[in-house]
Structure 1
């Protein structure tokens, strides 16, 4: 079977050369679990998953053990009545059971529904009801979220609870079906009811928009094959690599970019479960202990790591060689810090749940440029389009879009045909992200459609301004919005978080304003600056500029 690993163009001299030589090969019987675990190069005696939690429990799984565990659990699920096309929710973090159940579901032909542990009862109930989920996997401490919910979800037949043995814990009795008991009862070999198909649904992920209820994004198996950009963005995965990312396995950046699209290369993964907030020192100690070499690090994580001075001197045994950042564009200043202080190769990856990981950079093929998101990865046809879906001229701002024929584009919005009509404009799947392309093929991010600021007749993207603000010494991170202004329509306001030890002063405000005016333009500098301790964030680590705008509007109305 051709898998994700075979979709890299080896020996290319540039991204353009790789594009010219790339050919999509989508096996009609493609199965994600087979690509993740069952390929001939998956040495069954070698470790595929390292696990540790913040209480010191550890576990490891070889490829052979993970194959057997996923087979056993697939048989156990089938014994519970879970079949092809059934939806099973997974409300667990980075831990072995999460990986096992996903592999088991794909073997059956069932659909995995990841639900973040950050969600409360109402969010869980909506997803279970809307998806008609048949079962859910939970941890003992989260089962209480189903109180008052379970009875309202008519389709929910089974609540499976992690007992702990699979994650190196002593094991405990649980209320509901025990994951450990089901795993022990299952047979070692699994036979599917029919041959897999590349168009079989395998993953349902809910994404929040600016209005209305969350939308369920349905993906079919060939979606995983569209993630060929993974290999390029890590400057080509190789023997000896170990992957780690703090990104939650309930999100595309964690589950797809950090597990499902890593295992097909034969690269092992490190999982870490912590009940505490992200701690940069704990993370660096973990990377040093296990020898992790590659990983996805969201901009928020990089900004936290940046607060550690001279990380290579403090953590001398770090093996990191290349990291990727996504979710939001990384400022040139932050990218320079990664290169100069963390001393690793740095690339970017861009996409969204509906169409993931189709633009990025590959330092092994082309020198890294600080400002753009990158270029389309080989095989992906990308354009910047206007409101009618027509490509615009280079340097003109429009909506970043990808051909609907790309394997990395979603199948459909679950039970929501109206949203499908908005998502596609002719041959293009539009992202809602504004940007432009230059003459070399690089794509630049300007902000979400609703984040673009209109000031004095100009359209200004917040990302470009934020990148310049963070260049100022003492600035840790920044978020820019437009605020009402009777003269300009909108004025630019920056919310700034400073590094420890930096004074929040009028002098710093003037320095920021002068720097941005000098580097960009007179109409692009922030006329208002407010210091802030923490930003409102989405569960995927993006700054919620909308929350900042709404809070600012309320404050202004109250004072007028």
Structure 2
């Protein structure tokens, strides 16, 4: 029985006819109807022998599982006792990867609230779009990131309360409030199908979509890729670059280590490629998560410094070029653990590790899932033929109140939007995105969102944005701009437009290349033909 009194999300789930088929064939996927994922992963750690083991590490010190449980309880008490939140309320989380961010996320979910984690680089406009969609009534925000959230809050008063963390000198900070609490808190008795999080993704249009993830979904995913492919151990120390606001980072750098009784190290400063190699050596890290671009940049420093403790390197977030896999293997001696997953299903569903790796392939379908390559009518194509990926498993896409649900789920199958070839042995070979998503250095960027930002500049009359292949980043954001009369398309204006985009939306979305053109290719009805912009040596006129 649901414990979530606030039914906002439950009432906006897709109708049954638009839902995917959920498959729970494996014995380990038979989960009870009532469970709270934080209670399972954290409160029960002591009974699994993990209570006194390290869980969260940072330059400031280490928290064991037992110590982290007390801190999570104190924050949950603040949420329920002080802020008067009720199960089902959405709580926006804004912060980079840190121990405080991890504790805040766990407290929100343990209290039966719904976590809405956001990227630290998002600007007020993007935060406002998320607030408008999710209707959070409270936010927990890193004290260094309050400014943009304050702007968004003024425009969206539904967000009534903001409490800062990582702000030790403030009397009203989250840590100051939590220090007054007992640390005793009973997990909300959520149903397994109660909502744990909304993980926003912009999609190709720039309009945010909110995949809905339940307590069952998260724990079911722990029983698939982490159990059968990753195989982390309780003595592992995990590091990596993906943000906790991405489900790739949330799984790899919090949930999956907790499931294994392992620990995670969160540094104070962002990574550089050399810095990550040095950190792995300093803390004795054994598992690393980052994007292919970063591994490529790390390789020369691995040769320089060595990296004796690392045993697993996980690549995801964008396609892994075989050249990068071989470069990394040559430098580190480690076979990359590649995988493809998605926010809509929380994490990785096709992968391979160690001896199961086949050159050029992402891997095989992860136990618990089934996948096939199909044509436009949903019919499976012969092996060796390019088609669209369709999959089913213990998790599946449920968008919050979004007509795009029917684009992702068709006849009970999830369609992530990727083109693949499957060989006779069941290995899947990635071909391309089936949509206009730009994936650059592991970040997803919707071209129309960048276009919208550029069009806000007074010099730009029209623009079109695409992803351009790039050996270092996989793709870069490239913009084609038509200028208004009186403006000269020169290097100075390129810099001006790039800075404008950085100030308007998240800085990583800015166009690294801008080409000034007299006109853009359009259909007779005025629709921009981005495919023509992608064609090399095409003259626009």
TM-score, normalized by the shorter chain, greater than 0.5: yes
C-alpha contact (below 8 Å) 1:93/1:273 kept by paired residues: no
Counterpart CA distance in 2 for 1:317 and 1:357 is 26
Instruction: Report if the CA contact (8 A) 2:296-2:328 is conserved.
Output: no
Partner of 2:276: 283
Q: CA deviation at 1:78?
A: 0.3
2 CA distance for matches of 1:547 and 1:413?
34
Q: Does 1:35 align with 2:40?
A: yes
CA contact (8 A) 1:287 1:318 kept: no
Q: State the SS of the aligned residue for 2:210.
A: strand
What's 1:90 paired with? 93
> Secondary structure of the equivalent of 2:51?
coil
- In structure 2, C-alpha distance between the alignment counterparts of 1:141 and 1:306, rounded to whole Å: 32
User: Is 1:269 matched with 2:245?
Assistant: no
Residue deviations 1:246-304 (CA, integer Å, cap 9, x gap): 11111111112321122111011111232x5x411111111111100012121121121
DSSP-derived class of the 1:306 partner: helix
Deviation at 1:233, TM superposition (A): 3.3
Contact 1:138 1:161 survives alignment (8 Å): yes
- Structure possessing the higher relative contact order (Cα contacts under 8 Å, 6 or more residues apart): 2
Q: How much has 1:243 moved relative to structure 2?
A: 0.9
Root-mean-square deviation (CA, aligned residues, Å) is: 3.3
**What are the superposed Cα offsets for residues 107-138 of structure 1, whole Å, 9 maximum, x if unpaired?**
11110011001101101111112111011111
Change (3 A) 1:425 1:85: same
Tell me: CA distance 1:451–1:435, structure 2 relative to 1, closer, same or farther (3 Å).
farther
Q: Give the TM-score normalised by structure 1.
A: 0.73
1:545/1:358 Cα in 2 relative to 1: closer, same or farther (>3 Å)? Answer: farther
Q: Aligned equivalents of 2:509 and 2:339: distance in 1?
A: 15
- Residues 170 and 176 of structure 2 are in contact (CA less than 8 Å); yes or no, is this contact kept in structure 1? no
Q: TM-score, normalised by structure 2?
A: 0.75
Q: Which residue of 2 aligns with 1:442?
A: 427
User: What is residue 211 of structure 1 aligned with on the other side?
Assistant: 205
Q: Which residue of 2 aligns with 1:361?
A: 352
Choose which of 83, 99, 123 in structure 2 pairs with 1:120: 123
Q: Cα offset for 1:497?
A: 5.3
Q: Secondary structure at the match of 1:402?
A: strand
What is the deviation of 1:43?
A: 2.5
Contact 1:386 1:398 in 2 (8 A): yes
Q: Specify which of 36, 42, 58 is matched with residue 51 of structure 1.
A: 58
Contact 1:233 1:324 in 2 (8 A): no
1:316–1:147: structure 2 CA closer, same or farther, 3 Å change rule? closer
Task: Give, in angstroms, the shift of residue 66 of structure 1.
Answer: 0.5
Q: Give the corresponding residue for 2:73.
A: 71
In structure 1, distance between residues paired with 2:468 and 2:142: 42
Distance 1:423 1:559, change over 3 A: closer
Report the CA distance shift for 1:555/1:334 in structure 2 as closer, same or farther (over 3 A): closer
Other-structure match for 1:298 = 291
- Answer whether contact 2:68 2:103 (CA < 8 A) is retained: yes
- SS in structure 2 at match of 1:207: coil
Q: 1:229 aligns with which of 207, 219, 225?
A: 225
Corresponding residue to 1:260 among 241, 255, 263: 255
The Cα of 1:558 is off from its aligned counterpart by: 7.4
* Structure 1 residue 187: Cα displacement: 2.5
Distance 1:540 1:20 in 2: 44
| Aligned positions, number | 444
Distance (whole Å) between structure 2 residues aligned to residue 443 and residue 540 of structure 1: 33
1:289-368 alignment to 2 at 5 Å? 289-308=282-301, 311-312=302-303, 314-316=304-306, 318-355=308-345, 356-363=347-354, 366-368=355-357
Q: Distance in 2 between matches of 1:554 and 1:384?
A: 26
Contact 1:451 1:545 in 2 (8 A): no
Alignment of 1:446-457 (within 5 A): 446-450=431-435
Q: Deviations over 1:461-485 (max 9, x none)?
A: x99xx9xxxxxxxxxxxxxxxxxxx
Is the CA contact (8 Å cut-off) linking 1:72 and 1:186 kept in structure 2?
Answer: yes
C-alpha distance 258-246 of structure 1, shift in aligned 2 (>3 A):
same
Distance 1:397 1:354, change over 3 A: same
The structural deviation recorded for 1:373 is 0.9
Q: Could you list the per-position Cα deviations for residues 205-249 of structure 1 after superposition, in whole angstroms to 9, with x for gaps in the alignment?
A: 111111251101111111112242023333x22242111111111
Equivalent residues in 2 for 1:69-218, closer than 5 Å = 69-79=71-81, 80-164=83-167, 171-173=168-170, 177-192=172-187, 195-211=189-205, 213-218=207-212
Kindly state the Cα deviation for residue 201 of structure 1 after the two structures are TM-superposed.
Answer: 0.1
Change beyond 3 A, Cα 1:185–1:389: farther
Q: How does 1:450-469 map to 2 (within 5 A)?
A: 450=435
Measure the CA separation in 2 of the matches of 1:497 and 1:381: 33
What are the superposed Cα offsets for residues 353-397 of structure 1, whole Å, 9 maximum, x if unpaired? 00221110032xx43212111001111111112222232221222
Secondary structure at the residue paired with 1:197?
A: coil
Aligned equivalents of 1:230, 1:543: Cα separation in 2: 34
Shift of 1:105: 1.3
2:401 paired residue number: 415
1:448-527 mapped onto 2 (5 Å cutoff):
448-450=433-435, 495-496=470-471
SS in 2 for 1:273: coil
- How far apart in 2 are the matches of 1:551 and 1:96? 46
Secondary structure (helix, strand or coil) at the match of 1:400 reads: strand
Deviations 1:483-539 (A, max 9, x none): xxxxxxxxx9854559xxxxxxxxxxxxxxxxxxxxxxxxxxxxxxxxxxx9x9997
Cα displacement string for residues 45-84 of structure 1 (whole angstroms, at most 9, x for unaligned residues): 22111113xxxxx231111111001111111100211221
**Aligned-partner Cα distance in 2 for 1:295–1:318:** 13
